Amino acid sequence: MSVNTVEINRQLNRFDGHEEVWLFGYGSLIWKVDFPYIERRPARIRGWTRRFWQGSHDHRGTPESPGRVATLIEEADAVCAGMAYRISPAVFDHLDMREKNGYLREVVSMEFADGDAVEGLIYVAGPLNAAFLGETTDADIARHIARAAGPSGLNRDYFQHLADALRELGEIDPHIIAIERELARIDSAKT
């Protein structure tokens, strides 16, 4: 599959005449809200885990030297915390461009703290997209993040904003904590 997924997502649609759609954010959509929304609520999805296995050729890296950003990987017993937004389907014009580097919209069930559950959409960059970097060690991921930069800034800033946003939500993500620990080792080795 091509890196640019804008047209694929526009063909998927999945709005079925809805005036409002729920969107689940698990990466930069938690902390970089550059789109209008009707409502915002912390949420969780089951069966998915957050991983820094996706390449970023357009924001936190370049085509020659991609950064690493979050995607979701299916995992039976996993629970992924993030932020849900109730939005107008028109917002997807902007989001499809923002998430164009390999991400496709998929339907997901999300749960709120009060027990309510809704169906909505997520952007997932699966292993068949051309920008997928795949699994490696936390140390390799941290080294990659520490050196990458792109038009939207340092890859490390993307990672740190996400780690901070999850802490503000009171969420513990072992993958994020492990990478953060490896980044701290890189920093201490420099001094």
DSSP calls for 101-114: BT-EEEEEEEEETT
Please report whether residue 157 resides in a domain: yes
Please report whether residue 190 resides in a domain: no
Element (H, E) at 126: none
pLDDT mean by block of 10 residues, the chain; 191 residues: 60 72 97 97 98 94 94 97 96 91 92 94 94 96 97 96 97 97 93 70
Q: What is the pLDDT of residue 1?
A: 46
The CATH number of residue 158's host domain is 3.10.490.10
Q: Spot the catalytic one: 19, 75, 99, 111.
A: 99
Please report whether residue 110 resides in a domain: yes
Please report whether residue 89 resides in a domain: yes
Give the integer Cα–Cα distance in Å for 132 and 153.
20
Active site residue 99: yes
Report yes or no: 134 and 127 within 8 Å, Cβ to Cβ. Answer: yes
Please report whether residue 85 resides in a domain: yes
Please report whether residue 191 resides in a domain: no
Which domain does 124 fall in, by range? 6-183
Please report whether residue 27 resides in a domain: yes
Total domain count, the chain: 1
